[in-house]
Amino acid sequence: MGLLAQAQESTVQSVTSPDGNLTLRFELGEGGAPRYSLQYKGKDVVKPSGMGFRLKDGTALVDYFRLVKASQSEKDETWKPVWGEENEIRDHHKELLVELEQTSSKRLMNIRFRVFDHALGFRYEFPQQRNLSYFVITDECTQFAMTGDHIAWWIPGDYDTQEYDYTRSRLSEIRGLMTGSITGNLSQTSFSPTGVQTALMLKSDDGLYINLHEAALVDYPCMHLDLDDKNFVFTSWLTPYPNGDKAYMQSACRTPWRTVIVSDDARDILASRVTLNLNEPCKLEDTSWIKPCKYMGVWWEMITGKSEWSYTYDAPNIHLGQTDYAKLKPHGRHGATTGNVKRYIDFASKHGFDALLVEGWNIGWEDWFGNAKDEVFDFVTPYPDFDLPGIRDYARQKGIKMIMHHETSSSIRNYERRMDEAYRFMKENGYDAVKSGYVGNIIPPGQNHYNQWHVNHYLYAVKKAAEYKIMVNAHEAVRPTGLCRTYPNLIGNESARGSEYQAFGGSKPGHTAILPFTRLIGGPMDYTPGLFENDIKKYNPNNSSWVNTTLCNQLSLYVSMSSPLQMAADLPETYERFMDAFQFIKDVEVDWDQSWYLEAEPMEYVTVARKAKGKDLWFVGGTNGEQPRISVINLNFLPAGKYVAIIYQDGKDAHYKENPQNYVISTKKVSPKTKLKIWTAAGGGYAISIRPQ
Amino acid sequence: MGLLAQAQESTVQSVTSPDGNLTLRFELGEGGAPRYSLQYKGKDVVKPSGMGFRLKDGTALVDYFRLVKASQSEKDETWKPVWGEENEIRDHHKELLVELEQTSSKRLMNIRFRVFDHALGFRYEFPQQRNLSYFVITDECTQFAMTGDHIAWWIPGDYDTQEYDYTRSRLSEIRGLMTGSITGNLSQTSFSPTGVQTALMLKSDDGLYINLHEAALVDYPCMHLDLDDKNFVFTSWLTPYPNGDKAYMQSACRTPWRTVIVSDDARDILASRVTLNLNEPCKLEDTSWIKPCKYMGVWWEMITGKSEWSYTYDAPNIHLGQTDYAKLKPHGRHGATTGNVKRYIDFASKHGFDALLVEGWNIGWEDWFGNAKDEVFDFVTPYPDFDLPGIRDYARQKGIKMIMHHETSSSIRNYERRMDEAYRFMKENGYDAVKSGYVGNIIPPGQNHYNQWHVNHYLYAVKKAAEYKIMVNAHEAVRPTGLCRTYPNLIGNESARGSEYQAFGGSKPGHTAILPFTRLIGGPMDYTPGLFENDIKKYNPNNSSWVNTTLCNQLSLYVSMSSPLQMAADLPETYERFMDAFQFIKDVEVDWDQSWYLEAEPMEYVTVARKAKGKDLWFVGGTNGEQPRISVINLNFLPAGKYVAIIYQDGKDAHYKENPQNYVISTKKVSPKTKLKIWTAAGGGYAISIRPQ
């Protein structure tokens, strides 16, 4: 034991962030067990926490390690994303690489830590070696030992969905609140009464904001966190295969990065670029075809139940390639008809949109869900009342790009088999972007959305799309972890409770004030804002859902929730009623030179200003949660000069329930010295567009 | 109950074969439960047996049925297979279609019976209907109630392999013999101590030969049979999904046919065409590119361990696309080297073969097995010492077609993703046929080879191959059920214990005298005969296996086990030592105008004569089992005329163990009146080629 003690002593390693505030400490604890801890400005963020793995062969990689080598390095470089919140991103970090050997087994495992000014990232790396060539991970033992009973903004851990409303509670309260937090979803598999998802947002009683997530999830299962609610220790909980195995590994290999973002200012969480910085540089040689865009959709009318994806009720079920739709009586409620689509094209074109998504254009929607149906869609056959060539030509003439829709119904083998043909068909018909969907249980049943097998699929689809120069906006896929840096044709993901839930019973008013701290840490979300009509009954008398925001809150989202793909989700006829407010959606940009995080508190408010990419245009979005408040911002992000600001703000009686469409639009001359005080309603917000005078 | 009783009475239906010998009887038994029974020449073959299904929703389709309609019809037509044992096949049967409604649920289920002279086929059909649109089968309840404790030639039921030696026993003895019959395999999952596979061969004490199998296995799990060994009743046992579900069904749909072949003459079992007749006609418009062929392979030297599939021992593992083989030291035991392949091409060309298979030509064999490795092969990258273009050109010049090898290691998603590229690569390089392999557990683990999901894959591969005009010879795929009629590019399957086991410890001497009654009922087998060297030690000092046949037994297989794809499996240098016997392999044809089954007894002997397709050449193969015997045959299958026969027979001291290479070749003038008596050794056999004088 003398030798071990000696080894231990030399194994304490630490590395501090460039600004000196964040310190990572690594050591081999008792029995050669790797441990890390994290301090911010002298305060504990993560107490000494366990690391390693349990393997299927009965062995573990959790102890009996000796330090072979520890090395430190520093990197400070700037790179240019294809699109995003900034036109340049600085990657400045210090790195500690710990090379370990398990003395009992002679197996090698390295841990690479990177410490940024407000964030830690670390991952496990397994060099190619005969003693650890192929191995099966049954548990990852990475822990995040919190210092106390923090406030958490959490959603239930789940192998199949992230589409939950957030709950704000103490860690100790999670267990009691879990059952009530697991609201219905078309596919869901929870696993623990204290299991929660990442990105997880936390706040300590001493004022630290802490965010736990992962970066670069490639060929590995999605990580959840299971809480020991006596000791406030989270442990990594990987999404399993049906047989319980978690990950099939082949050295050389590595895990995704585990990330901890921390600050005493909540705005730093939003400003952190750690998730992107921990991903690989862009692997696409030519990115000229990747174009951020603002779009509309023949979509909300189906979501609300005003119209339908399907074409007919006239057949018990559909056999692709056999069912003759021409012989079936249409039910008359089909949304994606040629006439209706052209009406959207006209509107989108008139108001300067780039693109139009159409769902329900292809055969198979009559029985697409819940039937474990293998060959559910073919992705190339339009309904008889959707004149694809006609629409294609009309859209081209009107300057509108069509966005394809590939709902897979989670029949993933069927999608992979037909993918080449589907992508070719898109390109032949001028579609450059696809919204893909993975609704419902994976087919065949027994699998889950977020395990290694399907994590692999989502990236496969993105990479194959890139071969065809197709942009992907994947819904119900695993939540993003910054892979859009490496594959910037991944222009969007859903992977959270999107706008659609406003037609499924509504979301909490603070929902969009927490998403930037959680879901958006991994990448942009196709949240589909722009809902101007709160009363869904007006679209569908059988749907009594209510959009729990003010109209100005909806406008704010185009800025506060950055995405290279932004929808105006509501119906043309609704926008016609509010053309003055709609002007903001017409004006707002979707790609940025720079962003400023002006105010932020999880689930309460987020205020962001952004400069349009390559243009002297600025936009501000102030998204408020459930409590009315006064937002106070300085416009000192503007360069010296004189500007005109158009301010879209909640009217004095505005309230997400009582008076959501109450808004005021004003024009004001502003300068970098201007300070604005803007009252925001419950569930409200504001939006500002600024241009040089 | 009065009404039910009344309904019952009218439900007894029966239909008799064209020759009047076989009678199928159907009735709705007590409680409206469908039952069938079968008689042959007045003897019971199948006693009244249950039918139907249990469904996942807790309901069943086993009783409460009423007869809606019963109708009979007769069909007598002749069709021409692309290849096979005959150039014309007669499909003469009487049909009974029973249309049932489950009175409790208003669900419709039809049962279609077809009675041929020596066979019954029946299947379940579900018309498209709202009350039974999508349903999940958890159990098929089809029974085969035997009349007594028959002799059975059986292999253990298994979800992953058919590669077992056959056991001959009474039904009542199966349970006691099961454990000993489950010999090791690289992937195996047995399920019941009385579970056996189809095609199952039986013989009753009153002299009836009975064969149970299925035809047209499409989009449904492979059926096994579970025996109630008190009552001698078999029940269908379907291969499940990992979650226990058996089949996902969507009406309109139907099950495969369940077949019972029966006769008092064992030769009728071999002559039956029921499996093909119950399959759909050919779906390929152009079949001109499908060509039976006789081939050699760079294969047996790897099977015996004389050489290896892999190239190097110099890396812990292989990463496709990353591992640089040029930097790895070759181990020098690689079989598929350019030089060695050219040597085989020379030999095959010199002796008139059509084609050459090469295994181990492509990268990835170093760690291909047992690692649950997703991206295990890419199917397009040759090893550095395999000059693919050079070999391609050399083979073309020598008139030899190259046969591609796609081992998948059961990483089926990887294969499907790469299939188009792999098939394109084949065609670009002049390969028109592929041997595919599914060795080892399905990746990811938890799935089985024979469930609905993978049954679907094997046919997907065949259909996609047809698009590329590629012939498929699939090993370790589900056993065939006559689908080669519909997709005649499926020119071969393994799906049983092939010749390779003669290098893995040996097979029973009677093995090839039972395969025609079992495995071959579903279609041709790539058995790979032609092993002239019995002592495997001569190839690999570490391999003490022995080929348990005489040399003449090997020759007989080219005729007794018909296949459009026949290999000469042994090494060129071995054939050089036996050029007189090798002459038969050079001469024998692989496609036929007509076949005559001269003698047959399961596992004891099979003697078949065949006329070459479009040529005045006849061949006879007499395959003997473990007991020496005298084969007595008439050559009255020959048309009037005078002929020369070359007879290859066991020498008088021949014995599969003691003196297997003892043979005698004689030439004899023969006519249709000639009667031959030929002694065959233990594990022996004979072969005859006949041409006009």
Pick the catalytic residue: B500, B533, B589, B604?
A: B500
Decide: helix, strand or coil at residue B445.
strand
Tell me what pLDDT residue A6 has.
43
* pLDDT tens for each residue of B553-582: 999 999 999 999 999 999 999 999 999 999
* pLDDT tens for each residue of B238-290: 999 999 999 999 999 999 999 999 999 999 999 999 999 999 999 999 999 99
B315 to A245: CB separation less than 8 angstroms, yes or no = no
Measured between CB atoms, which of B245, B251, B315 is closest to A316?
B251
- Read off the amino acid at residue A597: Y
* pLDDT tens for each residue of A376-414: 999 999 999 999 999 999 999 999 999 999 999 999 999
B450-479 residues touching A, CB cutoff 8 A: 453, 456, 460
Give the best residue of A249, A313, A317 to mutate against chain B (max B CB count within 10 A). A317
Confidence of residue A552 (pLDDT cuts 50, 70, 90): very high
Asked if pLDDT for residue B205 goes beyond 90, the answer is yes
A372 vs B: CB within 8 A: yes
* pLDDT tens for each residue of B639-693: 999 999 999 999 999 999 999 999 999 999 999 999 999 999 999 999 999 999 9
Report how many Cβ contacts below 8 Å link chain A to chain B: 89
Q: How far is B316 from chain A (nearest CA, A)?
A: 5
Asked if pLDDT for residue A659 goes beyond 60, the answer is yes
* pLDDT tens for each residue of A528-545: 999 999 999 999 999 999
Enumerate the residues of chain A whose CB falls inside 8 A of the CB of residue B422.
none
What value does the mean pLDDT of chain B take? Answer: 97
Q: What is the CATH number of domain B3-277?
A: 2.70.98.10
A444 to B373: CB separation less than 8 angstroms, yes or no = no
Measured between CB atoms, which of A242, A373, A460 is closest to B242?
A242
Confidence of residue B11 (pLDDT cuts 50, 70, 90): confident
Asked if pLDDT for residue A2 goes beyond 50, the answer is no
B252 to A319: CB separation less than 8 angstroms, yes or no = yes
Measured between CB atoms, which of B319, B367, B416 is closest to A416?
B416
Asked if pLDDT for residue A7 goes beyond 60, the answer is no
- Sequence-distant (6+) residues with CB within 8 A of A143 are A49, A50, A51, A233, A234, A235, A236
Q: Is A500 a catalytic residue?
A: yes
DSSP per-residue letters across B197-234: ESSEEEE-TTS-EEEEEEE---SSPPEEEEEETTTTEE
Measured between CB atoms, which of A316, A413, A417 is closest to B130?
A316
CB atoms within 10 A of CB B577: 13
B321 vs A: CB within 8 A: no
C-beta separation of B434 from B465 below 8 A: yes
Q: In what order do the strands lie in the sheet with B53-55?
A: B60-61, B53-55, B134-140, B247-250
Tell me what pLDDT residue B328 has.
97
Asked if pLDDT for residue B421 goes beyond 90, the answer is yes
Asked if pLDDT for residue A162 goes beyond 50, the answer is yes
- Sequence-distant (6+) residues with CB within 8 A of B100 are B28, B34, B65, B66, B67, B68, B108, B109, B110, B111
A460 to B417: CB separation less than 8 angstroms, yes or no = yes
B374 to A413: CB separation less than 8 angstroms, yes or no = no
All structural domains of chain A with their residue ranges:
3-277, 293-591
Enumerate the residues of chain B whose CB falls inside 8 A of the CB of residue A417.
416, 460
Question: How confident is the model over B174-193, as a mean pLDDT?
Answer: 97
Asked if pLDDT for residue B174 goes beyond 60, the answer is yes
Query: Quick one: closest CA in B to A421, which residue?
Result: B420
Q: How would you classify the pairing of strands A293-298 and A355-358? A: parallel
Enumerate the residues of chain B whose CB falls inside 8 A of the CB of residue A128.
315-317
Asked if pLDDT for residue B6 goes beyond 70, the answer is no
B421 vs A: CB within 8 A: no
* pLDDT tens for each residue of B370-388: 999 999 999 999 999 999 9
Measured between CB atoms, which of A243, A251, A317 is closest to B128?
A317
What angle, 0 to 180 degrees and rounded to 10, lies between the N-to-C axes of helices B388-397 and B338-350? Answer: 10
C-beta separation of B457 from A417 below 8 A: no
B136 to A372: CB separation less than 8 angstroms, yes or no = yes
Asked if pLDDT for residue B160 goes beyond 70, the answer is yes
Q: What is the CATH number of domain B293-591?
A: 3.20.20.70
Decide: helix, strand or coil at residue A63.
coil
A248 vs B: CB within 8 A: yes
The span from the CA of A639 to the CA of A137, in Å, is: 53
Question: How confident is the model over B316-340, as a mean pLDDT?
Answer: 97
Asked if pLDDT for residue A3 goes beyond 80, the answer is no
Tell me what pLDDT residue A10 has.
59
Element (H, E) at A581: helix A579-587
B371 to A134: CB separation less than 8 angstroms, yes or no = yes
A242 to B319: CB separation less than 8 angstroms, yes or no = no
The span from the CA of A595 to the CA of A615, in Å, is: 14
C-beta separation of A452 from A198 below 8 A: no
Query: Quick one: closest CA in A to B372, which residue?
Result: A248
Enumerate the residues of chain A whose CB falls inside 8 A of the CB of residue B445.
241, 243, 245
Tell me what pLDDT residue A107 has.
98
Give the best residue of A55, A57, A126, A128 to mutate against chain B (max B CB count within 10 A). A128
Question: How confident is the model over A283-310, as a mean pLDDT?
Answer: 98
* DSSP assigned state of B399: T
Decide: helix, strand or coil at residue B250.
strand
Question: How confident is the model over B620-638, as a mean pLDDT?
Answer: 98
Question: How confident is the model over B467-496, as a mean pLDDT?
Answer: 98
Asked if pLDDT for residue B2 goes beyond 80, the answer is no
Element (H, E) at B2: helix B2-9
Measured between CB atoms, which of B129, B243, B416 is closest to A445?
B243
B576 vs A: CB within 8 A: no
B134 to A372: CB separation less than 8 angstroms, yes or no = yes
A248 to B456: CB separation less than 8 angstroms, yes or no = no
Tokens 């002559």 identify what position? B271
The span from the CA of A197 to the CA of A237, in Å, is: 10
CA A203 from chain center: how many Å?
21
CA A200 from chain center: how many Å?
12
